Structure formats: C-alpha cells, structure tokens
Amino acid sequence: MQETKDLVKIFFDPMNKEVTVKRGSVLLNAMRDAGIQIESICGGKGECGKCKVLLVKGEASYSSSKHENFLSKEEISEGNRLACQIRVLTDSEFAVPVESLVANPKILVGTKMSIERLDPASKKYLVLPSSTRDDKPRLIRLEGYSGPTPEVSDEIFNRLFSMEPEQAITATLSRTNTPPEIINIEPNDRTNSNYGLAIDVGTTTIVALLADLTNGQVLGQASTLNRQVTYGETLLTRIAFSRKTKDGLQRLQQAAVQSINDLLEKLALNAGIKNEEITSVSAGGNTVMNHLLAGSDVDYLWFVDANDKVSRHPIIRKAKDIGLHANSEAYVYCLPNVSRFLGGDATGDVIASGMHGSDETSLLVDMGTNGEIILGNKNWLVSCSVASGPAFEGAGVRFGMRGMRGGIEHVRINRESFKAEYSVIGNVLPKGICGSGIIDAAAEMFSVGVLDFRGKIVEGRTPLVRKGRDGLEYVLVPEEKTAVSRDIVITQRDMDYIMDSKGATCGGIMVLMKKFKLSIYDVKNLYLAGAFGAYTNLGNATKLGIFPEFPNAKVHPIGNGSLSGAYKTLLSMTKRDEAKAVALNMLYIDLLVDVMFAETYSDSIYIPGPKELFPSSA
C-alpha cells in the first residue's frame, strides 16, 4: 500500500479539481490524470513552452533548465512554470491560464455530403422462412439478396432458431469482409433502422457524422478534441509516447475511442436511435491515427524507412475489439493508408474530390498537422507529404494557436500607420494567432515592406518593429488589446519557421510537377481540403508563395475531405473499391530522400518563389 506521506495533493484552479499523486510526479502527468486538457504540443519535452502554469502554493522542483527558454526571470519569480518541467514535492495549488488550455477548435462545418449510388457495406434484410439449421448446409436466406453466401456464426444460428418461427426476423449483412457475414439477427422487421458512423480521426480534432444507411441522409455531425492531444501534438510525439510508455499504445487507443464514443452517444441520443443500431463505421485518419484507433503497433512508423512497410489495404476491426459503443459486431473500416505520412485521410480527400476519375489534371493540397499533396488524374496519381502543416496551424509560432476562440484569423496591415487590423474568432480579445491569420500577417508584412523577399523582418520602417528576445519582431496587437496581457508579436524566429514551411510546401508541389514534366498551366483543378482551404485567403497564400499560381485552375475548397471520404465509403462499396485502387496505385515520393527536393526547396525559400511558378510577380 502507498504510504500517505509519499503522496501529495494538487489543486487546480479555475477548474476546481484535485488529484492525489506520488510525491515527485511530473505536473503534466498529474494534469493528464486529472483530465485537464493542457496544451502540450511537444508532448512534454520542454520544447514548445505551451504548458505554462502558475504555482500559487506549495513546492515543485525543476527537472531541467529548459523553462528558461520560454519564461523570463520576472515570469519565473512570479511563479510561472512549465508543467512538463517540474516535479511536485508538497501539497500544492496551481492556476492554469486560459491560453494553456486546449479549447475546442473552430470546426469546419457545412461540407455537403452526397453519394451517387447507395450501396452500403451494411444492409438489413428480412430472413426468409426457408432458412435451415441442418448441418449441411446451414443457411440463412435473405429476402432480396443475391450475392455470395454469407458466413454465419453458431451464435447467430442459435439466436435465429430460438426466435418465434411465425414472427418477422431481420438480419444485418456486412460486406466489409469477403465472404460477407451476418453480424446480427433481431426480431420484427427492422430493415428501416440501420445506421452508420463516418469519422474523421484527426490528430487534434475528431469529427463524426451519423448517417441513415437506408437512404444516405445525414442525421447529425459533432466534433470534439482528440483526447490524445495531451500526449503530444504531433504524430512523432504520439509514436514516441507509444514506444516509451508501458501501456502507451492502449492509452492512446482508448483516448481516441473515448473521444469517438462521446460523439457517437451524443449523435445517437439526438437522433433518437440506439447505439446498437449503428452497424457500420468508416474512418479516415492519417496513418498513425488509423493504427492507433485499431490498436495496431506504431513503433515501426518511427523510422524513416517505414514507407514501404505500410500496408495499403484498409485496416478493419470489429467495434467490440476496440471498445467502440456501436453494435458490438459492427465492422470499423479505416480508409487505406499509402505511406508513413500519407494516410487514409488523404485517400479520403481523393475520393471526396473525384480527381481520380477525371481526365483533367488536378492538384489536391491538405494542410493538417502534416501537409499532403497529391497530383494527377484518372490515369495516374503521385503524392508526397511535407512537414509544413504545423506552422500553418499555429504550432511552432510564439503566439500561434489553433483555429479556436480568441485566435486572430484574418489580418490586414494599414499602409500608412503599419498597424494591424484583424478579426478574431468569437469576436473576443485575441489570445494568439491561428493559421489563416499567420498567412495573412506574413503576406501583409511583405506587402507593406516590413518583411523582405527572404522573409526577414525589416528594421526602421515602423516603430512597430522592435528588437525582442528572438531578434526583430513586429507588434501585431498591443498588450492592452489582448487577452493575454502581453503584446502579440510575430518574431523573426516565427518567420523563419513559416518560410521553411512555405518553402517545403511549394518545393513539394514543384517536385511532383517536375517528375511529370508539367507546368502551372497544365493544372486544371486545385482542390483545397480542410480548414486551410476553407479559411485561408488564397490570394495571400499565393502572394507568400505557398502555392504556385495556377492560371488555368478552378479552385475547389472541399471542406473536410477525410470525413467526406469516410461518408462515401460508409455508403458505397464502389467507393471502397475506388479507395483501395487509389491507395494501391498512387505513387509516393519520399521528399526526405529525393534529390530534386533539395533544389526545389531552395528555389522556393524566398517570396514568392521561382519565376516559372509565379509569372505575374516577375
């Protein structure tokens, strides 16, 4: 038994929560145990500075000096600490500032879901009285079904023949696997009560949609933070957690499944249906998320040579095997992955866009935690992934934040005063700046001459540019107009990071075009997936040189492509076949080892970029 003298109590304000932990515990772990959703972008390595807390009472020791990179001497003397860098020694009280908490992101809504031909993997049929339970053959005949003979377990047979023979009986047939399988049997005619769940399993956010499998109607959508967020923001921090922690994989799996269960229960309740009536699930996640949801080992994804080891077939599990609160026999189908950093979410994007069925050459870009780029048409598809997403989602930038309440989302800089005019999500005082705001701010700083073509902040044009601890910085919002009691600034270090991300994205696009000897004039469609496509000012993204100019291209924001792809593959076996073909046939270029990328990246590292990509700026 644990001696009480070895335990300490920690109280958290303003959430009014108390936990008892072992003396010497890392505060970040105690907060995770208490269910406090604290920002921990670097996963607790002391490298992001986002897990700031205030020690109000008690004693805590530093486990390293990394906090000095993020906290000034004054802030430290006031009691500010990084939760991941201290160990709690006595009963203590901590205040958790609002900017350290993960708030619900602004979720991309309004994507119209549609399916050309309804042909869901799970369908209900009336059982015909001629079904037999004799040994040879044991058959359950289904009214109106003419496919391969379905598999039936002993349990289903026993349930069927324990039912009143004169009553109507409904069987649920799943075609997720071959041969098909009867996964449920129930009394009465329930053929009109069949539902499915489509899920976008994002690294940060999970979005779910409940659909009526009999007609494709969407009954509701809901979103929540992926509970894995407190184990680190990036894919690599999640893999590291799984590798280094004894039950890390299970904890990460449970965190994702619990997040999905929250959504599933809410959607079922609102629609007035029972959880067990959800007989099919289709999920679109990146490769790591798909593995973690399924409880598959992610260790091998840590290594750069993992691309060829990633299976391009869909991962399939039963709901009961992963703890999902749908019908326990329902199959969970994960859209197929392509490589280590190009997963089922990207396959879903392609299915949602329809580019794989078109004669015209299209470019698809999805900037999430990772950036995915796919080029091609119905005859060929080529792809790559770039580590550019985080900067455009606010990570790695001093005042960067996700697209959530308090985030500056759009910026314009006054040409005379050099002061920023901006809009904030939720119309409140700003706490930071989110991806679309960062792109606007950088493009505007360039337009007014506060930034030069190398992405360096220019001194002397305005007093709003000053020297800060990371070199020159531009004051975007003065302290008195913020919710964080500090000036919100864009620093040179932020700009270096943004320029690196911009160079990688543009350089990645260029590699794909060069490999297929295409020019900007050949691309006829530009599909932009995700929040980036929905909220970013495309003119500013092009001005900054993230995307080349595509003079002949129609721009199509496709919203949450991963969710649309999951919806389509929930409702159509044809779309599942297409997703499989897309994943199997897509060429993947690993930019980490591609010699051409070194060249295209260095050509793209200035604003906007090479002449052949930006003819109008020449």
317 vs 402, beta carbon nearer ligand FES: 402
Residue 239: how many CA atoms within 13 Å on its side-chain side? Answer: 19
By CB under 6 A, which span of 36-44, 98-106, 273-281, 594-602 interacts with ligand FES? 36-44
Name the minimum Å distance from CB 163 to ligand FES.
Answer: 56
46 vs 180, beta carbon nearer ligand FES: 46
Name the minimum Å distance from CB 27 to ligand FES.
Answer: 10
CA angle 440, 446, 448 (to 5 degrees): 100
Q: Report the alpha-carbon distance of residue 586 to residue 373 in Å, rounded.
A: 12
Q: Report the alpha-carbon distance of residue 587 to residue 477 in Å, rounded.
A: 45
Residue 51 makes contact with ligand FES by CB under 6 A: yes
Determine how β-strand 420-424 pairs with β-strand 407-413.
Answer: antiparallel
Name the minimum Å distance from CB 65 to ligand FES.
Answer: 13
Distances (CA, A) of 548 to 3, 252, 381, 611: 64, 38, 19, 10
| Residue among 48, 126, 367, 420 that touches ligand FES (CB under 6 A) | 48
Both tokens assigned to 60: 């805590």
Per-residue x/- marks for ligand FES, 81-100, CB under 6 A? -x-x----------------
Residue 362: how many CA atoms within 13 Å on its side-chain side? Answer: 24
| Residue among 33, 47, 496, 590 that touches ligand FES (CB under 6 A) | 47
Determine how β-strand 331-334 pairs with β-strand 278-285.
Answer: parallel
Residues 198-257 that bind ligand FES (CB under 6 A): none
Q: Report the alpha-carbon distance of residue 486 to residue 378 in Å, rounded.
A: 52
Residue 44 makes contact with ligand FES by CB under 6 A: yes
| Residue among 42, 210, 434, 541 that touches ligand FES (CB under 6 A) | 42
- Bond from prior residue into 314 cis (ω within 30 degrees of 0): no
Pick from 377, 299, 372: nearest CA to 341: 372
67 vs 124, beta carbon nearer ligand FES: 67
Residue 427 CB neighbours (<10 A): 8
Pick from 212, 128, 213: nearest CA to 170: 128
160 vs 395, beta carbon nearer ligand FES: 395
52 vs 123, beta carbon nearer ligand FES: 52
Name the minimum Å distance from CB 52 to ligand FES.
Answer: 8
Name the minimum Å distance from CB 177 to ligand FES.
Answer: 41
By CB under 6 A, which span of 49-57, 115-123, 181-189, 340-348 interacts with ligand FES? 49-57
Q: Report the alpha-carbon distance of residue 502 to residue 117 in Å, rounded.
A: 40
Residue 548 makes contact with ligand FES by CB under 6 A: no
Q: Report the alpha-carbon distance of residue 155 to residue 381 in Å, rounded.
A: 45
49 vs 548, beta carbon nearer ligand FES: 49
User: How many residues contact ligand FES, by CB under 6 A?
Assistant: 12
Residue 279 makes contact with ligand FES by CB under 6 A: no
Q: Report the alpha-carbon distance of residue 123 to residue 212 in Å, rounded.
A: 11
Name the minimum Å distance from CB 69 to ligand FES.
Answer: 9
The distance in angstroms from the start CA to the end CA of the chain is 74
346 vs 395, beta carbon nearer ligand FES: 395
By CB under 6 A, which span of 37-45, 134-142, 363-371, 442-450 interacts with ligand FES? 37-45
Q: How far is CA 391 from the centre of its chain?
A: 14
For 375, list phi and psi in degrees, rounded to 5: -125, 145
| Residue among 49, 105, 285, 432 that touches ligand FES (CB under 6 A) | 49
Pick from 337, 407, 322, 403: nearest CA to 372: 337
By CB under 6 A, which span of 45-53, 259-267, 341-349, 461-469 interacts with ligand FES? 45-53
84 vs 476, beta carbon nearer ligand FES: 84
Residue 531 makes contact with ligand FES by CB under 6 A: no
| Residue among 25, 37, 40, 482 that touches ligand FES (CB under 6 A) | 40
Strand, helix or coil at 459?
coil
Q: Report the alpha-carbon distance of residue 443 to residue 462 in Å, rounded.
A: 17
50 vs 412, beta carbon nearer ligand FES: 50
Which stretches of the chain bind ligand FES, using CB under 6 A?
40-42, 44, 46-51, 82, 84
